[in-house]
């Protein structure tokens, strides 16, 4: 008998969640249509000022979404400071508590994975800029400040 009532609760919850997702999709669709109209108007004004130019020749600006928990540049700064202070190579797992220090973050596996991914992405960016280097220690990837 308990199984039947649990199914009903699950179905009700799933229907609510589905309605929420569908509503968000509708809202995003409306916003996308409004942005398309804005583009049409911008292209028309651009054509007035630059009749020979083509709007297709302009690169699209990459929109960077942040979680709102970290300011721009905060993670790479925390990583570099931690690596310098430690004076030794560190793993992502060792860097995560340093990056998360002083933050009020939801305690969940999903948030932990998100922070882990952000730390990895920032480490790769720092590596591309030549600030850090990656190596292996056994089966663990370690990161150090590049000399």
pTM of the predicted model over 0.75 = no
In percent, how much of the chain has pLDDT > 90?
52
Kindly indicate the confidence band of residue 3, based on its pLDDT and cuts at 50, 70 and 90: low
Residues 76-129: pLDDT tens digits?
Answer: 999 999 999 999 999 999 999 988 888 888 888 888 888 899 999 999 999 999
Q: Please say whether the beta carbons of 87 and 63 come within 8 A.
A: no
Q: Mind listing the pLDDT tens digit for each residue in 80-92?
A: 999 999 999 999 9
pLDDT at 101: 86
Reference 117, options 95, 139, 135, 136; nearest CA is 95
């Amino acid at each position: 008998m308990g199984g039947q009532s649990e199914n009903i609760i699950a179905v009700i919850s799933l229907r609510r969640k589905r309605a929420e997702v569908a509503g968000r999709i509708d809202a995003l669709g409306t916003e996308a249509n409004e942005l398309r109209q804005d583009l049409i108007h911008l292209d028309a004004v651009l054509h007035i000022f630059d009749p020979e130019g083509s709007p297709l020749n302009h690169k699209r600006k990459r929109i960077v979404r942040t979680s709102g928990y970290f300011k721009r540049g905060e993670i790479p700064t925390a990583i570099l400071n931690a690596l310098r202070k430690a004076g030794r190579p560190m793993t992502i797992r060792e860097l995560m508590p340093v990056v998360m220090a002083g933050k009020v973050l939801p305690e969940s596996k999903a948030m932990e994975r998100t922070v882990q991914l952000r730390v990895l992405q920032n480490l790769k960016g720092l590596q591309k800029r030549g600030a850090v280097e990656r190596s292996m220690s056994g089966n663990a990837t370690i990161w150090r400040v590049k000399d």
